[in-house]
Amino acid sequence: MDPQFWHTRWQTNQIGFHEGAPNALLTGHFAALGLTPPGRVFVPLCGKSHDMDWLRAQGFEVLGAELSPLAAAQFFAERGLTPETTASGAHQRLSAAGVTIFVGDLFDLTAPQLGPIDALYDRGAIVALPPTLRARYAPQLLALTSAAPQLVIAFAYDQSKLSGPPFSVTEDELRAHYSATHTLTLAHSYEVPGGMKGACPATESAWLLTPRCA
């Protein structure tokens, strides 16, 4: 996906992916990763998600990565926070009240910038990327987080019926990306009411990824 695609989405407020409350698959299944606060949770492609508030409320420090400066600015402004802003590598680092958002391209982020990570939460992230970028995304996450545990939420549907985003990311694909480093367990799966944008049936699934060496 061209970065401009996402910048335009935020500039024109076409953010139908943004939910008004913490995601039910997050609140229902994150505890199954067995992470005890305090810990540091990475949220790639974070937007201005309320999921970051929920993770913070559980006692975790939240680290996000987001391309759009507007999204990051709105996240803090909507909470009445003025973030401390510093330059960090190719990114701007915005930080307040236990949430830090690295504004810039995820693929330019480095492990030393991010620091140690105890778990990763992927909602609207792997499914936001076309196949060529997903092939780079999974190894980038593994490098950034030393293959930390993950909760991944993904859609699966007939990609020939509709182009993404969100893209279809099947169980087979998740296993291809992560089974060398993680054990994948299906936490929950359901048929999306009305299918994917009314074009075809779709399932949404929450996957727990547990490091093989843990």
Ligand X SMILES: C[S@@+](CC[C@H](N)C(=O)[O-])C[C@H]1O[C@@H](n2cnc3c(N)ncnc32)[C@H](O)[C@@H]1O
Residues that bind ligand X (CB under 6 A): 6, 17-18, 45-47, 49, 65-68, 71, 105-107, 123-125, 128, 165
Element spanning 37, H or E: none
Cβ nearer to ligand X, comparing 165 with 195: 165
The residues, any chain, with a CB within 8 Å of residue 51's CB and separated by 6 or more, are 22, 23, 26, 43, 121, 123
Smallest separation, CB 48 to ligand X (Å): 7
Cβ nearer to ligand X, comparing 5 with 179: 5
Smallest separation, CB 3 to ligand X (Å): 7
Ordered strands of the 40-44 beta sheet: 84-88, 91-96, 99-103, 61-66, 40-44, 119-123, 150-157, 202-211, 182-191
Smallest separation, CB 154 to ligand X (Å): 12
Cβ nearer to ligand X, comparing 105 with 191: 105
Count CB-CB contacts under 10 A for residue 97.
Answer: 13
Cβ nearer to ligand X, comparing 13 with 179: 13
Round to whole Å and give the CA distance between 95 and 82.
8
Q: Dihedral of CA 172/194/123/30: which sign?
A: negative
Smallest separation, CB 67 to ligand X (Å): 3
Smallest separation, CB 121 to ligand X (Å): 9
